[in-house]
Amino acid sequence: MSAATKILGEAVLKQGLKYLGKDPEKNLPKMLNWAQKIAIRKQDKETIENLKKYVLDPNNNWHKFAVTLLTRTDPHVAEKIGVNFFLNASLLGTPKQLELSEKYDINVPWAILIDPTAACNLRCIGCWAGEYKKSASLDYETLDRVIGEAEDLGIYFTIFSGGEPTVRKRDLIRLAEAHPDSVFLSFTNATLIDEPFIEEVKRVGNLAFAISIEGFEQTTDERRGKGVYQKVISAMEKLRDAGCIFGFSTTYKHGNIDEVSSDEFIDLMVEKGCVFGWYFTYVPVGRDADLDLMATPEERATMYKRINEIRSTKPIFVLDFWNDGEASMGCIAGGRRYLHINAHGDVEPCAFIHYATCNIKDTTLFEALKSPLMQAYRKRQPFNENMLRPCPMLDNPEQLREMVREANAYSTQYDDPEPVDELADKLKPYSEKWGAEADEIWQKHLEEKQKAEIAASNQK
In tens, the pLDDT along 208-252 reads: 999 999 999 999 998 888 999 999 999 999 999 999 999 999 999
List, in order of start, the domains of the chain with CATH numbers.
3-72 (no CATH), 93-338 (3.20.20.70)
Instruction: Note the residue count of the chain.
Output: 460
376: three-class secondary structure by DSSP: helix
Helix (H) or strand (E) holding 157: strand 157-160
392: three-class secondary structure by DSSP: coil
For residue 170, the one-letter residue type is R
> Which residue in 219, 204, 145, 150 sits closest to 172, CA to CA?
204
Which pLDDT value is given to residue 7?
A: 52
- The CA distance from 136 to 421, in Å, is 26
Q: How far is CA 349 from CA 40, 317, 392, 403, 428, in A?
A: 28, 25, 11, 11, 20
CB burial of 380-412 (b: ≥16 within 10 Å; e: otherwise) equals bbbbbebbbbbbbbbbbbebbbbbbeebebbbb
Cβ burial, residue 77 (10 Å; 0-12/13-18/19+): buried
pLDDT in tens, 40-75: 888 888 888 888 888 888 899 998 998 899 889 999
Which pLDDT value is given to residue 452?
A: 86
207: three-class secondary structure by DSSP: strand
- The CA distance from 150 to 366, in Å, is 8
Instruction: Please count the other Cβ atoms lying within 10 Å of the Cβ belonging to residue 99.
Output: 12
Which pLDDT value is given to residue 18?
A: 60
- The CA distance from 79 to 160, in Å, is 21
Q: Which residues in the chain show pLDDT less than 70?
A: 1-22, 125-134, 460
Query: Which is it for strands 410-411 and 355-356: parallel, antiparallel or unpaired?
Result: antiparallel
On whether the CB atoms of residues 302 and 252 are closer than 8 A, the answer is: no
- The CA distance from 224 to 126, in Å, is 10
On whether the CB atoms of residues 118 and 342 are closer than 8 A, the answer is: yes
- H-type alpha helices, 126-190: 140-152, 169-178
